Each structure stands twice: as C-alpha cells, then as structure tokens.
A and B are shown apart, each in its own frame.
Chain A
Amino acid sequence: MPAASWFSALALVDTRQQYYRLFDIYVPIAIGVFALIVVLALFAVLRFRRRPVEKAAVWHKNDRLEGAYALLLTLTVAFLLYLTFSAEHQVDTVANRQRAAVTIDVTAAKWEWTFFYPAYGITIRSGTSGVTPFVVPTGEPVRFNLRSVDVIHALWIYYTRYKHDAIPGSTQVFTLAFPHAGLFDGQCAEFCGLRHPDMLLAAKAVSPSAFAAWAHSHTGRSSG
C-alpha cells in the first residue's frame, strides 16, 4: 500500500543520514566558494601587479552590482536554511514522535556512563572502569533519556553523527537509529573535569532478533 510505505519511509529517522544529506551540499558549496575567491584574488594580484601608481584606477564602487550580489547571498542563505530546517525537523521532532523499539535511561556522572533498560532491568556501566558496550537493535528507533548527576557531560557516538548534552536537573530526550550492525565508539564530548578523556562508551548494534535474545538472557543483570 503506497500510504503505508510512505509512512514507513518516514518512520526511521537516521541522524547520520540527515547529517550527510546536509554535508554533501554544504561542503561542495564551501569548497566551490573558497576556490572561486582564491582564484579571483590570485588572478587580480597577478594581473595588476607591478603597474605604475598612475595606472591604478580611481573608481571604487558599483552599488548596483553589489546590490545584485547581496541578493544572491540572501537567496543562498534562504536555500541553506531551508535544507537545515527540514533536516532539523526530522532529527529533533519527527524522530521523537516515532514509537521506540527500546528505551535506554542514560545517567552521566564523573566519570562514568550508566545505561539502564527499564523494560528489562538491565544496567551497563562504562567509563573510567573500562568500556562495556550497551546493546541496541538495528533498524529501529532507540529512545535515550539522558540525565546527569553532577556537571555537564555530552553523549556522543561518532557513528550517529549526533551528540546531546547531559545537564544536571533535566532529562534530555532524543532518538537515534543504528541501520548497520557493528560496534560503535563514543565518548563524553563536554569537558567534565579531571578524567574527561576516560569517559568512554560504545554501542553494539545487533539484529532485532539477536537484541531480543540478549535482552531476554540479561534481564535484571548489571554489568560493566
């Protein structure tokens, strides 16, 4: 059914995919603009070098040309903002409307992460004591409820191209997806004191059936 497939296409928001959707437009434009300005500047310098001072032009403005150029810049801004706002809507709004396959309550503390699965009573710790991966299913929305008990930390899993701050006194909610199976490194990204470099973590993405088996066999257990 077309309506259903349209709906399911919307269903999984992948932050990594949204990142590259923008990256693949922003970066080529930036490289193009950089190259254009460098070439123009070098051309002008080489072309107008070592001329007698009397040859230097007296003219020094062209407001109509500059106005047209400013309009072009404004349109560029509008284009970039359209792309950004539509991607951000997916990441910050649509993603959190998805029905999560699994919810993980993450608590950040100096200098350890605690990943708690309320549905299964599983607790995993990672940080200065060593890195123990937390487990997620592939291809399904994973909800994170992020808290901190002391200072500001930030949960960052490079693979997802997403991070979020853990700020004491609040629960920050976000939803990530792991389309591929694998072991993905992460780490605290907000400086949080002495052992900040050791506040490491890892996510292990496995198929939904393998995840169900893992969750079943680990129910009520604590590790890491």
Chain B
Amino acid sequence: MTAVATPVERARLGGWIGGAISTDHKRIGLNLGLCALGFFLAGGVMALWMRVQLAQPNMHWVSDQGYSELFTMHGSTMIYLFVTPMAMAMAVYLVPLQIGAPGLAGPRLALGGFWTWLSGGLIMQTGWFTSGGAGRDGWFAYTPLSDGRNTPGIGMDLWVIGVILAATGLILVAASVLATIARKRAPGMSMLRVPVFTWTELVSVLMVVGAFPVLVLAMVLLLIDRHTAGIFTGYSGAIDYQDLFWFFGHPVVYVMFFPFLGASAESIATNSHKKWFGYVPFVGSIMLFAALSMAVWSHHMFTTGGVTNQYFAFTSTALVIPAGIEYFDMIGTLIGGAIVLRTSMLFGLGFFLQFLVGGLSGIFIASPVLDYHAEDTYMIVAHFHYTLFAGSVFGFFAGAYHWFPKVTGALLREWLGKFHFVLLVIGTNMTFAPMFFLGNYGMPRRISRYPDHPGWGTLNLVESIGAGIIALAVLTFLINIVVSLRRRELAGDDPWVGQTLEWATTSPPPPQNFIGPLPPIESYAPLLDLLHKEQGRADEPEEAPVP
C-alpha cells in the first residue's frame, strides 16, 4: 500500500466510514440513490397523511397549519430530495459505465455534492421538530407570504437553508457528471455514439448547472429578505421572485423527466432486442426540449398579469414537437422487435403511456385561456402528478428493475415485480385521474378542507384509497429488494442481452469498472452491434423498410 490511498484503495476501506467517503462513483451513486429513496418514503408518508385528511369533506385529522406543512414538505421532499437527486444518482452510477470510463471526473466534487445535498435535506426536515413547525409556504414559497412578517419562525428558515444546500450539492454532482461525459468517454465513443440514457443525463446536468444557481440565488435573497432588508418588495418584487424561482423551477421539471425517459428508453430497446429508433432525431429533440424548457418558465405565471403570456404560451406549446418525436421513436423501437414483457419493460411502457396524460394536459394548460381556469386547481395537481409520479417514478422503477442486477449481481423477483407494477398502475390512476375532474369542478389545490359539494367526497375518497394502493405497491417493491438480496438468484454479467457497455463488465462492476479491453464502439449500442456481427446480420440496412 502506498502512502496516499488511491480512490480504488479508499473504496476498499471497509465499514460505514469507508463507504461514506469513498470516491468510487458507484458508491457515491448508491449512497445518493439510497438516501433519495429514504426521502421518497418520507414524502410518501406525508402524502398519505394528506390523503387521510382529504378523504371526506370537512375533516379535522390535521390542523390547517399542519396541512400546510404537509403539502409544503411533501412537494419539497419529492422534488429537492427524491426525484432530482435520484436522477443525479443514476447519472453518477451509470454514466461512467455507459461511456466506458473508469470513474468520474472530479469524484471529490460529486462526493462533496452528495454530503452538501444530504445535509440540506436533513436540515430542511429538522423544521418538523421546531416549535413553529416545518416550512409551510409550498415548495415554491412565494413572497410576500414567505417573508419574515407573514411566515415568521425558524422552521421556514431551515426550509430555505435546506433548499440552498440541497441545490448547491446537486450542482456539484451535476458538474462532475458533465465533466465526465465531456472528458472521460472511451476511445471511439464520439458524441453521436453516446448511449441514449447518457444523452438524457447530459441534457439534465446541463440544465442543473444552468438553472440551479438561480434557485440558490433566489433562496439566499429570500433568507436576507426574511431577516433584514426587504428585497422582494411590492408588485415587481413579487414578480421578480416568481421569475427567479421558475427560471429554476421549470428546468428542474425536465431534470426530473429526461433521465427517466432515458431509463425507459434503454429498457424498451433492450427488451425489444432492437436499437432505440431514430437516435439522431432523438438527440436533436432532447436538445430542443432542453433549450425550450429554459424558456417556458413564466407559464406558471399566466394569472399574475406580470408576464408576456403569448411568448410563454408559444414556447410551451412548441414542446409538442420534441415530445412527439420521443413517442414516435418509442413506437418505432417496438415495431419489428422481439419483445419480452419483463417488469422493467412494463414500467418503461407505463412511463411512456401514463406520462402522455401529463404531457397532453400540459399542452392544455400551456394555453393561457385554459390555464386561467386550471391554474392553482386540482387540474394542475393531476397534471404534474401524471408527469412526475405516473411518469418519472415509473421510469425510475423501469431503471431500477433494469439495472438492479448490474448493481447487486442479483435478479429481482419477476412475479413480485409484475405484482408491484399492476398495483402501482391501479393506485396511480385511482389517485390522480379524479383530480382532473375535481379541479374542473372548482377544487383549488392546497386547501385542507373542502365543502360537501355533490361528488367531491366520493372522488376524494377514491383518490385516498388509490394512495393506499400506491403505498402497498411501494411496499411490494421494498419486499422484492429484501427477498432478492436475501435469496440471491445470480444475474451474471448480462442477464438481458444488454446493448451498452455496463453489460460488458461484471455485476457488480469492479472498482475500476472494466477489466481488460472494451468491446469496439461503433454506435450507441456497441454490444448489440457485436451480436449482429455474430448473427451475420451486420450488413442489414439501418433504414426502416417504409417509404
């Protein structure tokens, strides 16, 4: 052993300490992902608590203030502490493997980012234990409601500080991933041979690096505003805060979307035994998607009278073009494939088809005239839960079932996985579909009680039962993990006929990721190219046989 421990040797340090300070990207990715999963469970409990309160009209299960803490912390936990960091965790673990790199560029940056993010998350949650309660102004904490006069108390300060640290940590992690993709691709892997999932992570980390600093800035200003000078004062101050917040807040929506789109795409391509269809248009479309998503933020502000609605309606409606291309590519991948309906495939298809409800309702509310009615109602709640839960969380599970064997060396139980999938589809649609109708009938979001209008009690009860079914589905997933790790069914290096480089190494991969030379990289699916060569089909045309 040398005097200074190399990353590889540090990864071999046993125990909790070794795991916590390891600069092995796989360890950092797992730590980040497992902590995010823990926050997912916490945020889920908050959601269940709210669904109990809303199960019937005029309930008094929680107080009005308790309810506002619940919806604030539920949203903040899910967005800042689960979906976004999970997207980054998947990047940290998988991107170096997919591009044939031995590790991250700047692994200490990612390690420091993980710890900064985690401390932010924990600080935010400590608000629960203060006498005034946790943050309670919603996940976007509009001023002047969130200023020191309208929401005094240490719990709200802890929320602001938590967001600052969590966002800063994620910027550090994203910067490391960005540098990795830029600098550490294996010889032969040009940008147009980068796998689909890594491309989706690339545009995501670009948006994190581009947009999250604005959130950090807005939150620092909010903290100052709360304690000393009035910064966001008057009408323009209120509009400025919203502009700054949503300049982060809309790109983050796509950071919470692209990686799960990529995971679903990898799982669909692999389980169809075909390359992802239309790779170059796909890459172009997600770049257009990312560019547009940096230019749509004020569609959250159509009812403020403070923004140019037509411009933001234009950019938001234009999202139809890249989104439509992704669906075209999904169908194109399925047609002509040899499809196996494994659990990861089901979740991948579930991602695309259910996200579609969120996407199409997104076109609806991109129209200001329609949004004047839908804004701040359960129509919006339904819309973004179809994108984030029925979409991203399904995409996360697609990735989880797809890559679990790579990460652990063990296969997840297929029958438990399919049970998990069926429960989650039923629970998700029972919970979120009725919200479209409730919103249209006049139910605003963020109310702890609602009057006994005809049908409202029934629809809300259906939603609450659905939330319980979602909880059972998530429990099934956790049981599946425990069972599969306790009684291991060995996965081997490549249980699925994988297409990308992570399937060309052992499961789990060794500290330096690859032993021996990498396979030749001639496209975004190098292992499938090898298979086609073995089959003697490498010369078949790339163009689909349609005019």
Q: Residues on A close to B: CB < 8 A?
A: 15, 18-19, 22-23, 26-27, 30, 33-34, 37-38, 40-41, 44-45, 47-63, 65-67, 69-70, 73-74, 76-77, 80-81, 83-85, 87-88, 91-92, 150-152, 154, 156, 158, 161-165, 167-170, 172, 185, 187-197
> Given A34-B357, A80-B317, A196-B447 in contact, is the A169-B234 Cβ separation under 8 Å?
yes
23 A-B residue pairs with Cβ-Cβ distance under 8 Å, sorted by A, are: A18-B369, A41-B334, A45-B334, A45-B341, A53-B273, A54-B537, A60-B278, A60-B279, A61-B279, A65-B546, A66-B325, A73-B321, A74-B321, A91-B372, A151-B142, A152-B142, A152-B238, A154-B376, A163-B376, A168-B238, A188-B444, A191-B68, A197-B449
Check A57 against B274 for contact (C-beta < 8 Å): yes
CA distance A197 to B545 in the complex (A): 59
Check B279 against A48 for contact (C-beta < 8 Å): no
B367 located at the interface, meaning its Cβ lies under 8 Å from any Cβ of chain A in the complex: yes
> Given A59-B541, A151-B144 in contact, is the A88-B309 Cβ separation under 8 Å?
yes
Chain B, residues 246-275, CB within 8 Å of chain A (1/0): the string is 000000000000000000000000001111
Q: Which residue in chain A gives the minimum CB-CB distance to B325?
A: A70
> Given A56-B338, A57-B274 in contact, is the A37-B144 Cβ separation under 8 Å?
no
Check A61 against B277 for contact (C-beta < 8 Å): yes
CA distance A44 to B364 in the complex (A): 28
Check B446 against A196 for contact (C-beta < 8 Å): yes
Check B373 against A85 for contact (C-beta < 8 Å): no
Check A55 against B338 for contact (C-beta < 8 Å): yes
B448 located at the interface, meaning its Cβ lies under 8 Å from any Cβ of chain A in the complex: yes
B150 located at the interface, meaning its Cβ lies under 8 Å from any Cβ of chain A in the complex: yes
Interface residues of B in 410-457 (CB under 8 A from A): 441-442, 444-450
Check B540 against A58 for contact (C-beta < 8 Å): yes
Check A22 against B320 for contact (C-beta < 8 Å): no
B306 located at the interface, meaning its Cβ lies under 8 Å from any Cβ of chain A in the complex: yes
Check A192 against B542 for contact (C-beta < 8 Å): no
CA distance A191 to B138 in the complex (A): 8
Q: Residues on B close to A: CB < 8 A?
A: 64-65, 68, 137-138, 142, 144-145, 150-151, 233-239, 272-281, 303-306, 309-310, 313-314, 317-318, 320-321, 324-325, 327-341, 349, 352-353, 356-357, 360-361, 363-364, 367-370, 372-373, 375-377, 441-442, 444-450, 497, 532, 535, 537-538, 540-547
Check A65 against B320 for contact (C-beta < 8 Å): no
CA distance A167 to B73 in the complex (A): 25
> Given A37-B356, A56-B273 in contact, is the A168-B145 Cβ separation under 8 Å?
no
Check A73 against B360 for contact (C-beta < 8 Å): no
Q: Which of B151, B370, B449 contacts A23 (CB 8 A)?
A: B370
Within the complex, the shortest CB–CB distance from B171 to chain A, in Å, comes to 28
CA distance A165 to B68 in the complex (A): 20
> Given A91-B369, A195-B64 in contact, is the A77-B318 Cβ separation under 8 Å?
yes
Question: In the assembled complex, which residues on chain B have CB atoms less than 8 Å from the CB atom of A26?
Answer: 363-364, 367, 370
CA distance A88 to B305 in the complex (A): 13
> Given A152-B238, A191-B145 in contact, is the A59-B325 Cβ separation under 8 Å?
no
